[in-house]
Structure 1
């Protein structure tokens, strides 16, 4: 069986995605499609003054490119066209400006953590494993390393609030 040769193709027009999305839509408005890829990317929109709380991502470097609005990423002023590298292991936080912020993130794709894997690790330490259900993204199933997630770092969806 021969596999088709991959070809470059246009994936999205972010200006059109932003224009066509409802004004109140927040979180991931677009995700990189297709299985079997090595890259993950999302178009994310924050409303005015919204933020992604300070956290560390130990496994992934992330490239963040602003496509609309203004904000601040870990002390760096953002405007359309700004590209920020968020290195793995560094604390990172993000806050939208007065008119909101829309940005694209790109990073190496990784498999989400599983609850079963975490429970096995905890069981070896003695005692009962902590319940991780509040840290499981309902959209993609990834377990957040952040104890108070705002957005899922795997799929970009806004974390549900109770």
Structure 2
């Protein structure tokens, strides 16, 4: 099965147009989740911790910075990053914006947990 997201690679990640989740894997019975996300220049996904899932992130256009709770890491087109569960991650788009694919195991159903202090 192939998916194409029109305009994602041709015009650059930061050009005007759709932002946020541009595409997501939605077939029933799947074991994976995948999303293509576009961020406008300077847009930031605040640092957060994913407690349950490892995530594979592939930069498909533009550039930016990954803040893993330590030394920031440059993200450029073609970069592939493994984000292990329990790790802190935040993303900031560069001057040309950023588009990336994330792939991870399908999220389990909602769970009741203790609140983190």
TM bucket (normalised to shorter chain) is 0.7 to 0.9
TM-score normalised by length of structure 1: 0.60
Structure 2 distance, partners of 1:13, 1:54, is 29
Asked if 1:25 is matched to 2:18, the reply is yes
Q: Please give the secondary structure, in 2, of the residue aligned with 1:99.
A: strand
Q: Please give the secondary structure, in 2, of the residue aligned with 1:68.
A: strand
Could you say what the CA RMSD is over the residues aligned between the two structures, in angstroms? 2.4
Asked if 1:111 is matched to 2:92, the reply is no
Q: Which one of 30, 37, 58 corresponds to residue 65 of structure 1? A: 58
Larger relative contact order (CA 8 Å, sep ≥ 6): 2
> Please, which runs of 5 or more residues in structure 1 have no aligned partner?
1-8, 123-129, 131-144, 146-162
> Please, which runs of 5 or more residues in structure 2 have no aligned partner?
none
Instruction: Give 1 or 2 for the bigger CA radius of gyration.
Output: 1
Structure richer in helix, relative to its length: 1
Aligned residues: 108
Q: How does 1:131-146 map to 2 (within 5 A)?
A: none
Q: Displacement, 1:25?
A: 1.5
TM-score normalised by length of structure 2: 0.82
Structure 2 distance, partners of 1:57, 1:107, is 11
Give the corresponding residue for 2:4.
13
Structure richer in strand, relative to its length: 2
Structure 2 distance, partners of 1:34, 1:70, is 30
Give the corresponding residue for 1:85.
82
